[in-house]
Amino acid sequence: MLDGLSTSLKDALKKLAGKTVVDRAAVDELIKDLQRALISSDVNVKLVMELSKAIRTRSLDEELPKGTNVREHVLRIVYQELVRLVWASTEVKLEPQTILMAGLQGSGKTTTTGKMARYFQKKGLKVGVICADTFRPGAYDQLATLCNKIHVPIFGDPKATDARQIVKDGLVALKDQELIIVDTQGRHALEADLIQEIIDLNAITKATHRWLVIDAALGQSASEQARRFHEAIGIDGVIITKMDGTAKGGGAMSAVAETKSGIVFIGSGETIEDLERFDPDGFISRLLGMGDLKALAEKVEQAAIAEDMDVNAMMKGKFTLRDMYKQLEALNKMGPLKQIMGMLPMGNMQLPEGVYDVTSTKMVRYRIIMDSMSPKELDDPGLLNSSRMQRIAHGAGATQEEVRELLKYYKMMQRTLKTMRGGGGKFNMQRLMKRFSGMQ
């Protein structure tokens, strides 16, 4: 069912793919599918409407960046608008501080408190935990079990009934710890006495941060709940829990929009280590049910390529020197090679510092050499014998060695394209780069 949904979004995108003029109807169709994707990921309906309005206006008003097609143009806007929404400053400082946990019943505050204690402990801080949940049976035992496992001191009393007193005592007892996390009882916005309690706890602790814990499955009520919590204690960060299920976390996005804060952590597993810092790209891809959004958005930045290269012909295996010339030209338009490489998903591959500059100089040389070739030679590199090479080298002010190197590079590109076609997989940039740098 969900797959079907993201497929429909992809279909809508496909319709825009070949277009170079913004087609109002196609954009509207895409927006509609986008709305459905976001709503079925539990993003607040009103928020979705606002978002899609902004996306629509920008898609139709903004000029199409040169060399991009409409799909890329619209996608980039979608991506930007969504990132703008979730990517508020959520810096986690590693310094003495007090964090107050807030959230609905069963959202995962206690588990997250344990995970956070572990996170900050690993970062080298002296962490202490206060259990201010005096209501739920077993809450103290649960937190104590988690904290004992990682040797973090915990303050609490399963028999106490006054959360305020516990927190006061706890702050005294844990005064030697650098970072204190206060776990609280689950509550919802309509429980006035409990809301008052957390207001008091906030005053008592003078908390540095008040983080709202949101279950990834929380639906439309997320906005309202977040708003009320925000009014009460001023939420300055959201933690999404249970992201290891199938829920998309749209509710958390609504909460972030409502509190004008950002997403701090994501909980995705049952062990104490399962806490991650927030990654907006992964989150947004999941919301929309499509994995390649960032890559697509970035393609726009590399504008020139799509315009100049005949990808189809290349995919059929026809790759001539002429194509390579266009490719080099396109690469040149894109700016410094280093910047381009930064955008490509190459994992942790490290290139030697000098490589970038040498390579781009080399590219310019290659183009100059190719400028000395005849059209026939460009279309059919097989013609190039040693006398032709000599002529070309002479004309370009290069050595025959350089011409041979160029041909080697050309053959390598041709091979790479062949493997890409054969394997059916993605363009193996990493391998290409390896060969490329090996040629220096």
Partner 1 sequence: MFGGLKEKLQAARNKLGSSIGAIASAPAEAGEAAAPATPGTTPATIHTAETSGAAPAPAAGFVEKMKVLITERELIVSDKNIADALSELEMTLLESDVALPVTDAIIAHVRKGLVGKHRKIGESVDDLVVGALKNALLEVLGKGFNLAEYIKTHEHPVKILFTGVNGTGKTTTVAKIGAYLKKQGYTVVIGAGDTFRAGAIEQIGVHAERLGIKIIQHQEGADPSAVLYDTVQYALSHKIDVVLADTAGRFHNKSNLMNQLDKIRRVMKPDLIVYVDEAVAGNDAVIRASEFDRTVGADAVVLTKADMDSRGGAAISIAHTIGKPLMFLGVGQAYDDILPFDPEQVVEELLGGS
Site residues, partner 1 (CB under 8 A)? 1-2, 5, 36, 39-42, 45-46, 104-108, 110, 135-146, 188-190, 215-221, 224-225, 241-242, 244-248, 250-251, 270
Cα 397 to Cα 385: distance, rounded to the nearest angstrom: 18
Judged by CB, which is closer to partner 1: 148, or 339? 148
Judged by CB, which is closer to partner 1: 143, or 398? 143
Q: How far is the CB of 189 from partner 1 (least distance, A)?
A: 8
Amino acid at 197: E
Angle subtended at Cα 290 by Cα 330 and Cα 240, rounded to the nearest 5 degrees: 120
Q: How far is the CB of 186 from partner 1 (least distance, A)?
A: 9
Q: How far is the CB of 292 from partner 1 (least distance, A)?
A: 22
Contacts of 159 (CB under 8 A, 6+ apart): none
Cα 207 to Cα 132: distance, rounded to the nearest angstrom: 14
Judged by CB, which is closer to partner 1: 94, or 190? 190
Q: How far is the CB of 199 from partner 1 (least distance, A)?
A: 19
Sign of the four-CA dihedral 424, 425, 426, 429 = negative
Helices (H), 150-186: 163-173
DSSP-derived letter for residue 382 is: G
191: which 2 tokens?
A: 């429980």
Judged by CB, which is closer to partner 1: 143, or 330? 143
Buried b (16+ CB within 10 A) or exposed e, 13-28: bebbeebeebeeebbe
Judged by CB, which is closer to partner 1: 214, or 393? 214
Q: How far is the CB of 139 from partner 1 (least distance, A)?
A: 7
Q: How far is the CB of 9 from partner 1 (least distance, A)?
A: 13
Q: What is the DSSP string of 315-347?
A: HTT---HHHHHHHHHHHHHT--HHHHHHHS--T
Residue 352, CA atoms < 13 Å, CB-side half-sphere: 9
Q: How far is the CB of 52 from partner 1 (least distance, A)?
A: 13
Q: How far is the CB of 246 from partner 1 (least distance, A)?
A: 5
Judged by CB, which is closer to partner 1: 244, or 380? 244
Buried b (16+ CB within 10 A) or exposed e, 130-153: bbbbbeeeebbebbbebbeebebb
Instruction: Tell me the three state secondary structure of residue 379.
Output: helix
Q: How far is the CB of 77 from partner 1 (least distance, A)?
A: 23
Contacts of 178 (CB under 8 A, 6+ apart): 95, 96, 97, 125, 126, 127
